[in-house]
Structure 1
Amino acid sequence: MSEKNRAGKRTARERLADEREKQKAAERRRRTLIVASSVVCVLGLAAVIGVVAANSGKDDSSDKAGPVVAPSGAQGEDALAIPVGKDGAKSTLTVWEDFRCPACRAFEAAYRPTIHELTDAGKLRVEYHLATLIDGNMGGSGSRNAANAAACAQDAGKFPAYHDVLYENQPNETDDAFAENSKLIGLAAKVDGLDTPAFRTCVEDGTHNSWVAKSNQAFQNGHFGGTPTVLFNGKNIYADQSMTPAKLKQMVEEADKG
């Protein structure tokens, strides 16, 4: 073999060796990047988990939790129900509601006259449970603050009237107007005798905020589909497409006779 050919073969071998070294180096870089990327992903996931854990159970709109103060006359398990009507009524309507909830307002508008008629006649007892579903879904604190104000109205013996005023003046779902205590106090003027220093202090101090949070937790634990949830003697009637105020009245009348 000529010297020229030997030199050419060495050159080819050297080029092949160089290429192999480059491939090995590239493979090492690739593996390093994979490992580094994996570490970044794990660290990123850990960071996300850490943030979620740190914020779990927090509500940015909530003040520091205080003692659970149930409103006057609250009944039921953990005193989470605000009763309206006579205790001896043969029918009980359990209503889970949110003062920011448009569907709750629609239910109230349709059924309020019938419910008032039946509770006034002593034939129906209503247990109101307050939730803050819209605060959780839309953000804000209007559901909580309105529920606290309603509980303050219960302390004053004015819950039914103030309850109705809140729904009659409900803002749009995306408008967190009920977050403003001044708005809630202003609406109290529509209820005779409610706008007092005691009521104002109760609203401004968020006296029942922790009770509202506990009520909302009970709503979550109940795995209800949403608000309103309306139970007649324990049976969900809001999901009944055939239900009407007239049908509800008939059910109550029949139970009262029976």
Structure 2
Amino acid sequence: MSEKNREGKRTARERLAVEREKQKTVDRRRRTLIVGASVVCVLALAAVIGVVAANAGKDDGSEEAGPVVAPSGALGKDSLAIPVGKENAKSTLTVWEDFRCPACKSFELAYRPTLHELTESGQLKIEYHLVTLIDGNMGGTGSRNSANAAACAQDVGKFTEYHDVLFDNQPQETDDAFADKGKLLELAGKVDGLDTPAFRSCVEDGTHNSWVGKSQEAFQKGRFPGTPTVLLGDKNIYQDRTMTPAKLKEMVQKADQGEKADQGQKTDQGR
């Protein structure tokens, strides 16, 4: 083999070696890019999962959960009931209701005069539980915001008056007007002495929002059929289609008179 031919073969081998090194470099770079891209995708997916998990269970427009602050005078398990009437009344009516609920408004308007009469006379105590059923069904925050505002009214001893104003001015079920805190403050002007800086701050800050959330949780755990749920003892009188304000009044008065009769018999026996 001539020197020229040997030189040509050596040069060809060298070129091939150089090309192989170039290809190895390209392959290493490609593997690096693939691994890097995979890491970025994994991190991005983890970030998305984190955001989804962080927002799971929150309603649109909901505020971050804060401490559970019960309104003044609330009683019962976890202080979830707002009482109206005298503590020693013989009969207790437990009401679960939503300020956006049309059926709740119908019940309140039909029974309001009787309920006021019986609570003011000391014959009946009502325990109100405020829930957010319509927010869950229709979307929005009007149930929660109005319930919080009613709890704020309870703080200053104006619950009953404001409770009635809210039902008197209830919007259509699909209209989330009570989500507007300005509207709730405007309605407070219809109750003498309610529109104060303290009340405004309570409404605007959502002071009792988490408390309202706890009440809704209790409603769900109770497996009640809907709102309103109106219990006299263990009986849901709202489901009793024969029930009327007059019949409820008669039942409460009989219970009250029965207690007085029992007390009279004990007095006679002690003589």
Alignment match, 2:82 = 82
How far did 1:168 drift?
0.2
Alignment match, 1:146 = 146
Structure 1: 5+ residue stretches without partners: 1-48
Alignment match, 1:223 = 223
Cα deviations across residues 176-199 of structure 1 (Å, max 9, x unaligned)?
Answer: 000000000000000000000000
Alignment match, 2:61 = 61
How far did 1:51 drift?
9.8
Q: Is the 8 Å Cα contact of residues 90 and 255 (structure 1) preserved in structure 2?
A: yes
> Does residue 118 of structure 2 align to residue 106 of structure 1?
no
Identity of aligned residues (%): 76
Structure 2: 5+ residue stretches without partners: 1-48, 259-271
Task: Give the whole-Å Cα distance in 1 for the aligned partners of 2:52 and 2:82.
Answer: 34
Q: Name the SS of the counterpart of 2:93 in structure 1.
A: strand
Q: Which amino acid aligns with 2:116?
A: H
Cα deviations across residues 207-227 of structure 1 (Å, max 9, x unaligned)?
Answer: 000000000110011101100
How far did 1:50 drift?
10
> Residues 51 and 200 of structure 1: is their aligned pair in 2 closer, same or farther, counting only changes over 3 Å?
closer
Q: Which amino acid aligns with 2:141?
A: S
Alignment match, 1:5 = none
How far did 1:53 drift?
6.5
Alignment match, 1:198 = 198
> Residues 157 and 52 of structure 1: is their aligned pair in 2 closer, same or farther, counting only changes over 3 Å?
same
Matches within 5 A, 1:101-250: 101-250=101-250
Q: Name the SS of the counterpart of 2:153 in structure 1.
A: helix
> Residues 229 and 50 of structure 1: is their aligned pair in 2 closer, same or farther, counting only changes over 3 Å?
farther
How far did 1:57 drift?
2.4
How far did 1:234 drift?
2.3
Task: Give the whole-Å Cα distance in 1 for the aligned partners of 2:112 and 2:177.
Answer: 23
Cα deviations across residues 106-145 of structure 1 (Å, max 9, x unaligned)?
Answer: 0000000000000000000000000000000000000000
Q: Is the 8 Å Cα contact of residues 94 and 234 (structure 1) preserved in structure 2?
A: no
> Residues 241 and 50 of structure 1: is their aligned pair in 2 closer, same or farther, counting only changes over 3 Å?
farther
Task: Give the whole-Å Cα distance in 1 for the aligned partners of 2:99 and 2:86.
Answer: 24
Task: Give the whole-Å Cα distance in 2 for the aligned partners of 1:132 and 1:70.
Answer: 16
Query: Structure 1 length normalisation: TM-score?
Result: 0.79
Task: Give the whole-Å Cα distance in 2 for the aligned partners of 1:50 and 1:219.
Answer: 30
What RMSD, in angstroms, separates the aligned Cα atoms of the two structures? 1.5
Alignment match, 1:20 = none
Alignment match, 1:251 = 251
Task: Give the whole-Å Cα distance in 2 for the aligned partners of 1:54 and 1:120.
Answer: 47
Cα deviations across residues 81-107 of structure 1 (Å, max 9, x unaligned)?
Answer: 000000000000000000000000000
Cα deviations across residues 137-163 of structure 1 (Å, max 9, x unaligned)?
Answer: 000000000000000000010000000
Task: Give the whole-Å Cα distance in 1 for the aligned partners of 2:106 and 2:207.
Answer: 29
Cα deviations across residues 220-247 of structure 1 (Å, max 9, x unaligned)?
Answer: 1110110000000221111001000000
Q: Which amino acid aligns with 1:205?
A: D
